[in-house]
Amino acid sequence: NGKVGKVKEFDKVRGRYDVEVEGGVTLSLRPLNLTQQCAVKVAGLQSRPQLNGRAGTIASYDEQTGRYMVLVPDSGPALALQRRKCVFAPGVRVCLCELSNVWYNGQMARICAVDRDAERYTVQCQNG
């Protein structure tokens, strides 16, 4: 719904985040209903190669197009980037998807390391 809030805690039993939004209201939200506003590096753009390697901030995610809206300082309006064009840093929480081992798809994970050459992440899944 476009509201901005701050995560207070994660309830492992319910699998939900408690998020405080404007006015001091706390909502209990499933991870898939949140977009983490975190730093990314732009990678692999052919139309605007001068932006590759630049840092940006995730503003939102468009589920219909599968693109992140990324704000890159001094580059104009937000960029609509495919997931593979965003490099996340260790510590970022993600929902795994489109993996060949479908058992992992849909699981929450934390990025532990990034291998830029192989274009792969090492992650720790919520379920171990």
How far is 113 from 52, CA to CA, in rounded Å?
20
In order, the DSSP letters of 30-64 are -GGG-----EEEE---SSSGGGTT-EEEEEEEETT
What is the chain's alpha carbon radius of gyration, rounded to the nearest angstrom? Answer: 16
**Which residues, listed in sequence order, are joined to residue 80 by a DSSP beta bridge?**
69
Residue by residue, pLDDT tens for the chain (128 residues) are 677 888 999 888 888 899 999 888 999 998 888 888 899 999 999 999 999 999 999 998 888 998 999 999 999 999 999 999 999 999 998 889 889 999 998 888 999 999 988 889 999 998 76
How far is 128 from 126, CA to CA, in rounded Å?
6
Q: Coil, helix or strand for 8?
A: strand
Q: Which of 50, 36, 44 is nearest to 89 (CA)?
A: 36
φ, ψ for residue 51, nearest 5 deg = -90, -15
